[in-house]
Amino acid sequence: MSLLFKHLRVHHVFGANTDVGKTILTTALVRASARTTNVFYLKPVSTGALDDADDRHVQQYAGSSRVQTECLFRYDEPVSPHLAAKLSERPGTPSDDTLATSIADYIRRSAATGTLAHMYVETAGGVHSPTLSGTTQADAYRPLFLPTILIGDTNLGGISTTIAAYEALTLRGYIIDAVLLFRDAYYRNSEYLTPYFAEKGVWVGALDKPPPKVANVDENFTLTEKYYDRLVRQTKDDINSGSEGSTSITDAVRHLDERHATRLAELDSMPRRTLDTVWWPFVQHGLITREADVNVIDSAHSDFFSVYKSPPHSAKPHSTRTTSLTSSSAPLPPSKAKSLLTPQYDSSASWWTQTFGHAHTPLTLAAARAAGRYGHVMFPQATHLPALRLSEAMVNGPGKGWASRAFITDNGSTGMEVGIKMALRAYTKRVGEKMAKDEVRRNEQTEHKERLGVLGLTGSYHGDTIGAMDASPASGVYTCEWHDAKGIWLEPPTVSFRDGEVFISIPPAMHPNHDKVVSVRADNVQNIYDVEGRIGSSLERLYRGYVEGVLRGLEERRKKGEDVPTLATLVIEPLVMGAGGMKFVDPLFQRVMVDVVRSGDASLGLVPSSSAQEDDWRGLPVIYDEVFVGLYRLGLESTGPLLGAYPDIAVNAKILTGGLVPLAVTLAREGIFRAFWGEGKETALLHGHSYSAHAVGCEVAGETLREIQKLKGSEAWKEAKGRWVEGLEGKEAEGKGVWSFWDAGFVKAVSSIDVVEEVMALGCVLAIKIKDDAAGMCFT
Amino acid sequence: MSLLFKHLRVHHVFGANTDVGKTILTTALVRASARTTNVFYLKPVSTGALDDADDRHVQQYAGSSRVQTECLFRYDEPVSPHLAAKLSERPGTPSDDTLATSIADYIRRSAATGTLAHMYVETAGGVHSPTLSGTTQADAYRPLFLPTILIGDTNLGGISTTIAAYEALTLRGYIIDAVLLFRDAYYRNSEYLTPYFAEKGVWVGALDKPPPKVANVDENFTLTEKYYDRLVRQTKDDINSGSEGSTSITDAVRHLDERHATRLAELDSMPRRTLDTVWWPFVQHGLITREADVNVIDSAHSDFFSVYKSPPHSAKPHSTRTTSLTSSSAPLPPSKAKSLLTPQYDSSASWWTQTFGHAHTPLTLAAARAAGRYGHVMFPQATHLPALRLSEAMVNGPGKGWASRAFITDNGSTGMEVGIKMALRAYTKRVGEKMAKDEVRRNEQTEHKERLGVLGLTGSYHGDTIGAMDASPASGVYTCEWHDAKGIWLEPPTVSFRDGEVFISIPPAMHPNHDKVVSVRADNVQNIYDVEGRIGSSLERLYRGYVEGVLRGLEERRKKGEDVPTLATLVIEPLVMGAGGMKFVDPLFQRVMVDVVRSGDASLGLVPSSSAQEDDWRGLPVIYDEVFVGLYRLGLESTGPLLGAYPDIAVNAKILTGGLVPLAVTLAREGIFRAFWGEGKETALLHGHSYSAHAVGCEVAGETLREIQKLKGSEAWKEAKGRWVEGLEGKEAEGKGVWSFWDAGFVKAVSSIDVVEEVMALGCVLAIKIKDDAAGMCFT
């Protein structure tokens, strides 16, 4: 909802506290601005009796026709707006959204006049004074993301309230263009604050105080009027000769104009500079060479980016000179009165990381809290609360019932590398202990260096580091010179809605007599995800026969001495393969894969299980890559309960930190952990990054898990579930039932659209495949 | 400097603003505490005339002998302490360190009494009111890291000042145990703040207001005394029947006691819980099984962790019941009066990440600013200021003179994977374009699959993801089942001080007639690092002959059809190999390696350079892994100027984000970038993490680079340089001269110690190798 216009410079005016001279200084800004441009003076919310004098001071100034004042919501009681709204007998307290939308509308209407103008949006009380709904202003006004003027506090204690208010605005990302406050010879707050903020790149204006109030109203008005006149008309010279250390309000206006022009110029320059310096991930730069193709994200809030679009016909960057704003000229054509910032829906949730929307204050505070308490502290052999609590939350959350250990790394790809290292070691150690001597001898005879590989699914992808790539099939564009796909990958059956009905599509490989995909209609999407109920079905037998057949065939080739990989781990993305094209895999097939490898059937090349104490995994270590699907992206905390089979190793990332900073957790069973237990460093899991278990990431992740619990209890969550199936509440803990935030009826309807081939939705994910076109769309 | 005692509960009292009742509520806390324990009431700094009445109210209470009041620094002028100190004629304003140390001493002395006690340390004004030195209190008192009580603001605007003060404390990591404020029936701030803070897990106590002041001093005293009496003696029942919505101050004391007990119990439980749940990086868990071996980091500040040590003879955890503190008993033995928190020097700078010390406020604010403005926003085809500015700063900083592109990933290891992918592609593409047809045919005849490998140094290590591991030699413990070292590695000559003199140690391989290391004494350490000046020396000829010989031998084996790797890139950690044991490599040897591969000599197996426009690299792409050494860890922004040879690809991480969050930047020449230029996605660099170029990391990195520039201009920096060599200032830009924060004389002296084999220091790094022992020490 953030707006930006070249011809209309808008500033929010926040106060360090109530009664710090916000109205006086805003009036001074209005009057100074009105010397050269039109001015809009907006008080979105006002409480208490109107001070007519204030308004007269605004209007009095020469050129008052240039000044338009407005108040959107007015209440009589002189208390905080949230109380005033409560005390008022008017029904329907305006929501934050109504408030922000009303301001945005006013700004748009003002911009539509097309004349050069300044606008000041004056808040009430301090930065965190609650507005009508009860939300504090710093949060409630954040969607508008207007550049800000902070009115500092001149009183005793004012240094503290000013800096604290500045930090509250900083925590919400506000652009703070200036701090303005009165000069006071005794407390000298401005003397302290000027260098303090200069260090932070923030300009401070110290202005003469207004005259003391006198009893006679008219006299008071005249005195104050003189004060404004002096403030507005005084020049640098006046100041130098007269009031030492003061700033002219005209300087402040000029400074704000410069900041506005600089911001426009910087935004305009960003596409070119980006094309000249940045090397994007996943982007073919040869295809993106026009400035217009660069998405300039000025800020983000909730589900939207605020994106800058160059003004039309603006061949060259905005001048950083301020003449464009400080001199009046003819009105602009309406086409130029369009906001240069527009909201853009973040349809991939910034690659499936966002959980509560962008710039979610509780996560910012969590990051700040950990940064302030620890920075980053080294983790080996150490512990700190954020890492310990996160480890426990993960072991007792997605790891409940199977995992005993949490290993923390930086991202999904490194988390998968750790998972693979765990699985390979656990497998190798068991083989070393269990393999019959003749087996070893036979291996030596064949003279093939043992190549450990993964059993996986075609279309799977586990990250971009080379070890993670090697656990993914060689097909596809995601490859590099050192990529050496190690393993075998099976084409899975998939689930989707077509023409309003739900189907399972079975790939040709499973049907020796068919050469194309066979579709099986299901009565109901819930039946498909009732994995336990499908055990024993004909499809289950088909899947089992297929998987066993592939493994048996491999083992037979191995026996013949062919150079085939030795399968050492099963790696799957449960339910949905993300990077591989949003394929919704039939969960029964994945369950069967797990069941088959856990049979430990030697004729399938599987190593029988040990009876030792640490033997809590069988056959092959099973890795669930839940980087994309985990932590409720699909409506489920983890996929084990639904599949009716828990992994031995699982990786979580993306949602883990709510969409703020990178972090991954690899969970493992105790038996996997024990495979690294020993007396020498060489048998330890020698994997660690400089910032392993960084406190900021761990604290943000901990906060995310707590916030998700709150969301789970929300009405919206329950309603969304209810729309998919009655009485689902609480059932998913037992692995029963699937649902989506996307309405089931809507999903079916979309699947019936002519150009749509198929659709599927689970949790936050909606995938639409368009007919006769490789392209598809995904939304979150 | 953080202190913690079981028998002495200490709280900081901060105010949301001045004049919010801090002294009244602290007095009430003191009086309520004194009902059951001794109480220490400390005002570290006091300004203005003493209010004797305040002191009388403190002492008046029954058991006043239990109350000790103290003020450490007293000034007469009733203004902010920093002004009072200025106005005072006393010389020598106490520094922040003096202030914190004085408070810590007072706490230690109080603890040494051994009696159960409470202490309240009352600050002056608001959280950010400047203390004597001018630093704001929230920053100045941070090293003490005392749990905190925030006195909220009851006045109009007080909701805002209270929340903003809370956030200021949060940004510095303070544990906030309670918010206390007066109840006010009109503004009702406490009604708003109680649920607001409950949401954040912070307890709010709303207390009855003191009586209005009356003119008669004695009457005023009596009325106030009655107020305190009522506040302290009232029970929950009194409150329920009398003043609705109020908290008893006794409840507040009980709550604080509970928080203290909970904190102790949690700290006590952390080692066991960690041993039960956490899987540490790089740690052999089989060797760390005792709780006492777990380093419990409660917080960190500057160069120190604050580490919790279990009290001696405490077999079981602290009780969470509060009786231990609220009932008097015999004094404890002095041994129990030892602080449970002790400072521990972070000698590896948390694995070489820390730049300004832990919990550096400017970095916290940078993280908060980006979190509040963006959260994380997806980066492909997009741009945002933190990523763009960081990219430009890196290209124009360490990349100056050679790099044109910055690719952002999450950590050093992934940054290296990207660097390797870049190099392999650039090499492969050039080979495809340049290799003579007969060469290709010969390759086919030998029937060897081309194995692309790196040329590197023995002892090098580039990260724990498997691709980065594959660029490191197979020797050493850092390996895993999929590790497949691809390349050849040369043993390098090294630099060190021994017995006060500096030597170059030349490995046997370079001396065919020797079977041991040969040491060459240098006149001066600066001469060794004058790489340009050593070109043409006999050592340079020795090195060149050696490197060329190795490459020629490899090429000859390849021609014979042997299965040797095809060298595709040179990968080095310039000057110092970090993870490989802090080896200081003779820079001339690394320069020679670069020169030789850039010769493009076909007899050495090198591909001649192209003459195409993008041909800005020759022979092989050269990667500098500057993850450890870069960004002034060794006193140099980057190593190219010193080596007299710039890389084609370089990776920075660790210091990049000042020691807060993970991030890495891979820099590349334009020619490397162009190797990925094309018309299809498959030729792009398909590498990206969920949080690629996350705004928090980029903003923190940008702030770090700015802060380093400030440090560079500091006297301490200049002095440290001066101690190594006169007139070095400014020279390092030309690659001249090396220096260390460790005094040159000290380094020489240590090298002369009997048990010390050798020592070397550069920048922040000091490495000491002890004789007859594999162990060494490194400090930063």
Q: pLDDT (tens digit, 9 = 90+) per residue, A165-203?
A: 999 999 999 999 999 999 998 889 999 999 999 999 999
Q: Output helix, strand, coil percentages for chain A, rounded to the nearest 5.
A: 40, 20, 40
The answer to whether B398 and A271 are in contact (CB under 8 A) is no
Please, which residues 349-408 of chain A have a Cβ atom closer than 8 Å to chain B? 350-354, 357-361, 363-365, 367-385, 387-388, 391-392, 395, 404-408
The answer to whether A426 and A621 are in contact (CB under 8 A) is yes
Q: Write down how long chain A is.
A: 780
Neighbours of A538 (CB within 10 A): 9
Q: pLDDT (tens digit, 9 = 90+) per residue, A595-626?
A: 999 998 889 988 766 555 447 899 999 999 99
Tokens of A81: 């707006």
Calculate mean pLDDT across residues A582-589.
Answer: 96
| Residue A667 touches partner B, C-beta closer than 8 Å | no
| Residue A308 touches partner B, C-beta closer than 8 Å | no
What is the maximum span of chain A, computed from C-alpha positions, in angstroms? Answer: 110
User: What are residue B8's DSSP bridge partners?
Assistant: B117
Tokens of B184: 């006010």
- Find chain A residues with C-beta within 8 A of B383's C-beta: 270-271, 273-274, 278, 294-297
B411 contacts A690? CB cut-off 8 A: yes
Q: Which of A136, A373, A684 lies closest to B299 in CB terms?
A: A373
Percent pLDDT > 90 in chain B is 70
CA A73 to chain centre: 33
Q: Which residue has the higher pLDDT, B274 or A578?
A: B274
CA B355 to chain centre: 6
Residues A643, A735: Cα–Cα separation, whole Å: 7
Residues A432, A443: Cα–Cα separation, whole Å: 13
- Least Cα distance to A452 among A486, A425, A422, A484 occurs for A486
The residue of A132, A187, A278 whose CB has the most chain B CBs within 10 angstroms, and thus the best one to mutate to test that interface, is A278
Calculate mean pLDDT across residues A213-233.
Answer: 88
- A749 pLDDT more than 60: yes
Q: Which residue has the higher pLDDT, A435 or B162?
A: B162
Calculate mean pLDDT across residues A89-98.
Answer: 88
- B611 pLDDT more than 60: no
pLDDT reported for residue B325? 43
| Residue located via tokens 């710093």 | A138
Percent pLDDT > 70 in chain A is 89
Q: pLDDT (tens digit, 9 = 90+) per residue, B258-290?
A: 999 999 999 999 999 999 999 999 999 999 999
- B235 pLDDT more than 80: no
The answer to whether B508 and B516 are in contact (CB under 8 A) is yes
Tokens of A530: 């009732």
Please, which residues 476-495 of chain A have a Cβ atom closer than 8 Å to chain B? 477-482, 484, 486
- A332 pLDDT more than 90: no
- Find chain A residues with C-beta within 8 A of B271's C-beta: 383
pLDDT reported for residue B477? 75
Pick from A99-108, A205-214, B168-177, B418-427: least confident: A205-214
Percent pLDDT > 90 in chain A is 70
CA B359 to chain centre: 7
Confidence of residue B604 (pLDDT cuts 50, 70, 90): very high
Q: What angle do CA A473, A478, A481 make, to 5 degrees?
A: 90
- B309 pLDDT more than 80: yes
- Find chain B residues with C-beta within 8 A of A464's C-beta: 414, 417, 686-689
Q: List Cβ neighbours of A554 (8 Å cut-off, separation of 6 or more).
A: A488, A564, A565, A567, A605
- Least Cα distance to B193 among A157, A134, A710 occurs for A134
pLDDT reported for residue A451? 86
pLDDT reported for residue A247? 74
Q: DSSP alpha helices (H): ranges in A121-280?
A: 137-140, 158-171, 189-198, 217-233, 236-241, 249-277
Give the DSSP letter string of A453-491: EEEEETT----SSHHHHHTS-S-SS---TT----EEEEP
| Residue B289 touches partner A, C-beta closer than 8 Å | no
pLDDT reported for residue A775? 52
| Residue located via tokens 């130029």 | A336
The residue of A196, A269, A280 whose CB has the most chain B CBs within 10 angstroms, and thus the best one to mutate to test that interface, is A280
Calculate mean pLDDT across residues A471-487.
Answer: 86
The answer to whether A192 and A162 are in contact (CB under 8 A) is no
pLDDT reported for residue A363? 98
Confidence of residue B326 (pLDDT cuts 50, 70, 90): very low
Q: Which residue has the higher pLDDT, A59 or B535?
A: B535
Strands B176-182 and A38-47: unpaired
Calculate mean pLDDT across residues A295-323.
Answer: 75
The amino acid sitting at B281 is P
- Find chain B residues with C-beta within 8 A of A677's C-beta: 284-286
Distance from CA of B756 to the nearest CA of A (A): 25
pLDDT reported for residue B344? 96
B192 contacts A464? CB cut-off 8 A: no
φ and ψ of A126, to 5 deg: -90, 175
| Residue A726 touches partner B, C-beta closer than 8 Å | no
pLDDT reported for residue B366? 98
- A324 pLDDT more than 70: no
Residues B96, B368: Cα–Cα separation, whole Å: 25
| Residue B470 touches partner A, C-beta closer than 8 Å | yes
Calculate mean pLDDT across residues B131-158.
Answer: 96
- B544 pLDDT more than 70: yes
Q: Which residues of B219-250 are buried (b: 16+ CB within 10 A; e: fewer)?
A: eebeebeebbeebbebeeeebeeebeebbbbb
Confidence of residue B497 (pLDDT cuts 50, 70, 90): very high
Q: pLDDT (tens digit, 9 = 90+) per residue, A698-738?
A: 999 999 999 999 998 899 888 888 888 766 656 655 667 88
B273 contacts A392? CB cut-off 8 A: yes
Q: pLDDT (tens digit, 9 = 90+) per residue, B678-688?
A: 998 889 999 99
pLDDT reported for residue B244? 53
- Least Cα distance to B20 among B116, B125, B96, B113 occurs for B125
pLDDT reported for residue A725? 76
- Find chain A residues with C-beta within 8 A of B297's C-beta: 374, 377, 382-384
Q: pLDDT (tens digit, 9 = 90+) per residue, A385-430?
A: 999 999 999 999 999 999 999 999 999 999 999 999 999 999 999 8
pLDDT reported for residue B602? 87
Average pLDDT, chain A: 89
Residues B319, B264: Cα–Cα separation, whole Å: 9
- Find chain A residues with C-beta within 8 A of B467's C-beta: 465-467, 469, 482
* Structural domains of chain B in order of their starting residue, each with its CATH number: 8-263 (3.40.50.300), 363-487+531-713 (3.40.640.10)
Burial of B451 (0-12, 13-18, 19+ CB in 10 A): middle
Q: Which residue has the higher pLDDT, B84 or A585?
A: A585
The answer to whether A632 and A708 are in contact (CB under 8 A) is yes
Give the DSSP letter string of A206-222: EEPPPPPP-S-HHHHHH
- Least Cα distance to B635 among B735, B535, B703 occurs for B735
Write down the pTM of the prediction.
Answer: 0.94
The answer to whether A180 and A150 are in contact (CB under 8 A) is yes
Average pLDDT, chain B: 89
User: Which chain B residue shows the shortest CA-CA distance from A361?
Assistant: B372
B277 contacts A388? CB cut-off 8 A: yes
Distance from CA of B29 to the nearest CA of A (A): 23
pLDDT reported for residue A710? 92
Calculate mean pLDDT across residues B476-483.
Answer: 83
Helix, strand, or coil here: A383?
strand
Q: Is the dihedral of CA A219, A224, A225, A231 positive or negative?
A: positive
Residues A680, B287: Cα–Cα separation, whole Å: 8
A160 contacts B125? CB cut-off 8 A: yes
The answer to whether B589 and B576 are in contact (CB under 8 A) is no
Q: Output helix, strand, coil percentages for chain B, rounded to the nearest 5.
A: 40, 20, 40
The residue of A186, A188, A691 whose CB has the most chain B CBs within 10 angstroms, and thus the best one to mutate to test that interface, is A691
Q: pLDDT (tens digit, 9 = 90+) per residue, B12-25?
A: 999 999 999 999 99
The amino acid sitting at A628 is F
The residue of B131, B145, B162, B167 whose CB has the most chain A CBs within 10 angstroms, and thus the best one to mutate to test that interface, is B167
- A471 pLDDT more than 60: yes
- B732 pLDDT more than 80: no
Q: pLDDT (tens digit, 9 = 90+) per residue, B39-69?
A: 999 999 988 876 777 777 777 665 567 899 9
Q: Which residue has the higher pLDDT, B503 or A578?
A: B503
B80 contacts A159? CB cut-off 8 A: yes
Residues B376, B378: Cα–Cα separation, whole Å: 7
